[in-house]
Amino acid sequence: MADPVSRRRFATAVGAALVGAVTGPALAKSAFAATAAQDLAAGPAATATDAYTQQFLTQYNKIKDSANGYFSPQGVPYHCVETLIVEAPDHGHQTTSETFSYWFWLEATYGRVTGDWTAFNHAWATAEQYIIPQHTDQPSNASYNPSSPASYIPESPNITDYPAAINTSVAVGQDPLASELSSTYGTQDVYGMHWLLDVDNTYGYGNTPGTGAENGPTATGVSYINSYQRGSSESVWKTVPQPCTDLFAYGGPNGYLDLFVAQSGGYAKQWKYTNAPDADARAVQAAYWAYRWASAQGAEGQISASVAKAAKLGDYLRYALFDKYFKQIGNCTNAQTCSAGSGRSSAHYLLSWYYAWGGAEPGGGWAWRIGDGASAQGYQNPLAAWAMSSIPALTPKSPTAQSDWTTSLGRQLEFLRWLQSAEGGIAGGCTNSWNGQYGTPPSGDSTFYGMAYDWEPVYHDPPSNNWFGFQAWGMERVAEYYYVSGNATAKAILDKWVPWATSKTTVTATGFTIPSDLTWSGQPDTWNPSSPGGNTGLHVTVASTGSDVGVCAAYVKTLCYYAAKSGDSASAALAKSLLDALSTMTDSKGITVPETRTDYSNFSGTVYVPSGWSGTMPRGDKIAPGATFLSLRSWYKNDPDFAKVQSYLNGGSAPVFTYHRFWAQADVAMAFAVYGELFEGGGGTGDTTPPSAPTGLTATAVTASSVSLSWQAATDNVGVAGYQVLRGGTQVGSTTSLSYTDTGLTASTKYTYTVTASDAAGNVSPPSAAVTATTAAGSTGSGTVKVQYADNDTNVTDNQIRPGLQVVNTGSAPLDLTTVKLRYWFTANGGASTFSTYVDYAALGSSNVSSRVVAMASAKTGADHYLEVSFGSGAGSLAAGASTGQIQNRFNKTDWSAFNQADDYSFATNTSYADSTKVTAYVNGTLVWGTEPA
């Protein structure tokens, strides 16, 4: 049987200059921890009306039984009951944000079945106590500068290239989230889960939450740690773990910093954390189900505070939607020349592999934040994106969060469709930074919005998309989204994925085999949003099968949600047979199967340490060239199971282990509950009745660039929570009122709208009857501004277009530039459908100006696209009669194919600035200058 281990791991690169430190007292055992045993005890005896929901309760009670060892004395869930296990964490009594997210989800399911929400709220309180860093643990965020978020450090696919040197000559972009987040929440601290905790302080750093200190080997309880700092080839077996707060108490003279980052001058004591975006998104996903189920019980008020925490987590999770160094998205193949981004120009809108943040210890006066440009299919979560953009209780508070998650939802679905192989499996992902250094991808590599296809994004040992678990995890989220929304794109993806997966599945009365390891060949077609390719050259092969119970559980839930919505009885039957087989694999602690671990030969493998480097781990293990995985962790020799490993290292047979991973055991429990809910009526407390369709949809006002709509209220058995507005079948906004104005439209263009209603449980109504509206013709009026244009490139035929623009305030009062947008209209003339845009110079600061290319819904004379130019808050206001001065724009297709500007609507040959009515201007979405193309 192939190893059924989670192939999870996270790669982090420190993103700023390294400098500063204090120590703190050991954390006393709090009243919070003292009550943990009581709070974590199995809930009141509960019974179910069907066998599958009862299986959930049986499994749940095993997990919550203190004798089974799933939780620490502080009430923190372990990654695994057993201590000797190496996969993403290198010890069973570490834990991850992944584990916490499954805990939230488990307790949400328990709340649905029993109506008791105490444990769900307790899980969130524990997360805030231990895995979401407190202010003391991230003390210098007040020094963070969003205009200079981090110093560039190139990654490398070769671990021997580390430590990597800081390169301050590479321009980084602006962080568009920081100011908004600090204004919204009144703090500059980041609210996100760090991915890895040493729950029993096995390493001995004593980096205790709430102290910001290294309290050492004598500290008890939880300690922040990190690993994976040295590129795509650094497997778990090659890591040198380190404390998140590095005060130089352990390691070498510079702590652990100079193992990873090379810099001139002295190193500084500092803190740093890494977020695993799929875990935070799963936490939001769990909170959505909790809210849906509690609302159906009339108990939403009992969990409102915890649901608000999930929404806040999702606000900061947006850092995962941006390039690592906030550089321009697309065609970013040279660190020096790839443009720094501003506004949303650095947003790819996908859930990338991580985001990270850090800074100096008090007195150092600096902090940094980074996103990531590499995105894997297995991390996307359209259900969470949908919840944050459509469910008011889960919509983050920041002003732009809802629109960001609305865009992300659409982009994630496009991404999964782009990666779907000819057989149905979903391929790896993409990157905006090849090899983590903005390198040049292989010739002919296909792209997604200008980002290069990567069949093994982020890490290569083992390849990141070879594990079938990523397929099951990812498709379960798609199936849940399809179940609650009926989205056609989600259904189309599942319609192809489910037959592929089921054709590779075998079930007997007492066992099953499902795909385990996958191999990939070919590549997807370059993404064209208006005409997606068929990916006939992209293929997946099942290299081996296995019986991973956790992956099977996610697979079962995928089949259940898909079958319940689509009516596919074969998928429901397969889900049932897999659950019945799982139920035969029980032991006193859960449901599991033995695993043969040939990879444990790596206990004796060498860990790369640079020549001349030496240091000491907290418990005395030496760090020096020639060190091994085991020599850095000599405490493993005292593990009660280590004799089996030692025998293997001495030439014996590979050891066999039976593991109880928290995430897997929780997912097995939930799989039984989902089947019981959807097909047996078990614990049937969920509201599954959607609202009625809204009626009386009417276009109440139409301008050249906007359509205002109104409708009559829908009805619901519990209550309508909000409405979603769809233009041409794609959601463009949501509201809790009975009206909405859609802005930024093209003049003289016909648009079709429908509206759906949703309730607090997330049920979505059928769409309303459609209404059509045609926008008015453009105006040549002079409103409050005029636009002046100059041609900065006299070549009519060229591979880039360079319009110079400036705005003049013709009104009598100052004008807030954030309300102004400009459009330069042109034809693409074939070639790539994606574009790169740049603001080469702006008199008011290029960082205060953003640009993007928009494809028009229907072509007009002289235009099928337009360049939209907008202004950030740093641009300020424009005084009456004043001009912005020159704004030198430039854009190209990502394949650098040529334009012919001769027939472009906005093009003119004047090289000096002059009024142009063919470049249009809008204030608050209303056309105020120029005439749009007819």
**pLDDT value of residue 34:** 40
Amino acid at 637: K
Which pair of structure tokens corresponds to residue 540? Answer: 């997946």
What DSSP character marks residue 822?
E
The pLDDT confidence band at residue 596, using thresholds 50, 70 and 90, is very high
Which residues in 265-345 belong to E strands, given as ranges? 270-275
What DSSP character marks residue 347?
B
Tell the residue number behind the tokens 């969470």, with chain if given: 384
Q: How far is CA 21 from CA 137, 138, 214, in A?
A: 11, 12, 11
**pLDDT value of residue 108:** 98
Residue 6 above 70 pLDDT?
A: no
Q: Within 13 Å of residue 687, how many CA atoms lie on the same side as its CB?
A: 27
Element (DSSP H or E) covering residue 569: helix 569-582
The pLDDT confidence band at residue 783, using thresholds 50, 70 and 90, is low
**pLDDT value of residue 25:** 29
User: Any bridge partners for residue 109, and if so which?
Assistant: none
Handedness of CA 803, 450, 423, 729 (dihedral sign): negative
**pLDDT value of residue 153:** 98
Q: Under the phi-then-psi rule, with left for phi > 0, alpha for psi from -120 to 50, and beta for the rest, what region is 251?
A: left
Which pair of structure tokens corresponds to residue 595? Answer: 């695993």
% of the chain surpassing 70 pLDDT? 93
**pLDDT value of residue 907:** 94
**pLDDT value of residue 687:** 66
What DSSP character marks residue 700?
E
Span 700-752, pLDDT tens digits: 888 878 899 999 999 988 788 889 898 988 888 888 889 998 887 877 889 99
Closest CA to 573 of 586, 564, 583: 564
Element (DSSP H or E) covering residue 571: helix 569-582
Q: Which residues contact 379 (CB under 8 A, 6 or more apart)?
A: 277, 278, 281, 351, 352, 353, 474
Question: Catalytic positions, please?
Answer: 98, 278
**pLDDT value of residue 762:** 72
What DSSP character marks residue 29?
P
Q: What is the mean pLDDT of residues 453-464?
A: 93
Span 569-594, pLDDT tens digits: 999 999 999 999 999 999 999 999 99
Please, where are the H alpha helices in 702-784?
Answer: none
**pLDDT value of residue 135:** 97
**pLDDT value of residue 879:** 87
The pLDDT confidence band at residue 782, using thresholds 50, 70 and 90, is very low
Residue 47 above 70 pLDDT?
A: no
Asked if 494 and 382 touch (Cβ cutoff 8 Å), the reply is no
Using omega within 30 degrees of 0 as the cis cutoff, is the peptide bond preceding 4 cis? Answer: no
User: Any bridge partners for residue 374, and if so which?
Assistant: 431
Asked if 45 and 179 touch (Cβ cutoff 8 Å), the reply is no
Q: What is the mean pLDDT of residues 309-329?
A: 98
User: Any bridge partners for residue 695, and if so which?
Assistant: 712
CA Rg, the chain, in Å? 28
What is the Cα–Cα distance from 479 to 473, expressed in whole angstroms? 10
Specify the pTM: 0.77
Q: What is the mean pLDDT of residues 377-393?
A: 96
What is the Cα–Cα distance from 131 to 223, expressed in whole angstroms? 10
Q: Which residues contact 49 (CB under 8 A, 6 or more apart)?
A: 680, 681, 682, 683, 684
Q: Within 13 Å of residue 824, how many CA atoms lie on the same side as its CB?
A: 28
What is the Cα–Cα distance from 922 to 784, expressed in whole angstroms? 9
Closest CA to 751 of 704, 693, 710, 711: 704
What is the Cα–Cα distance from 575 to 581, expressed in whole angstroms? 10
How far separated are the first and last CA of the chain, in Å rounded?
65
Closest CA to 739 of 706, 776, 777: 706
What is the Cα–Cα distance from 140 to 143, expressed in whole angstroms? 6
Q: Within 13 Å of residue 210, how many CA atoms lie on the same side as its CB?
A: 13
Which pair of structure tokens corresponds to residue 726? Answer: 């769809």
Using omega within 30 degrees of 0 as the cis cutoff, is the peptide bond preceding 462 cis? Answer: yes
Residue 29 above 70 pLDDT?
A: no
Asked if 276 and 102 touch (Cβ cutoff 8 Å), the reply is no
Q: What is the mean pLDDT of residues 593-602?
A: 98
Sheet holding 223-226, edge to edge: 94-96, 196-198, 223-226, 242-243
Q: Which residues contact 907 (CB under 8 A, 6 or more apart)?
A: 791, 796, 801, 826, 901
Amino acid at 422: A
The pLDDT confidence band at residue 48, using thresholds 50, 70 and 90, is confident
Asked if 78 and 69 touch (Cβ cutoff 8 Å), the reply is yes
Closest CA to 747 of 530, 918, 531: 918
Bridge-based pairing of strands 695-702 and 815-816 is unpaired
What is the Cα–Cα distance from 762 to 690, expressed in whole angstroms? 8
- What mean pLDDT is reported for the chain? 91
What DSSP character marks residue 833?
S
Span 162-191, pLDDT tens digits: 999 999 999 999 999 999 999 999 999 999
**pLDDT value of residue 633:** 98
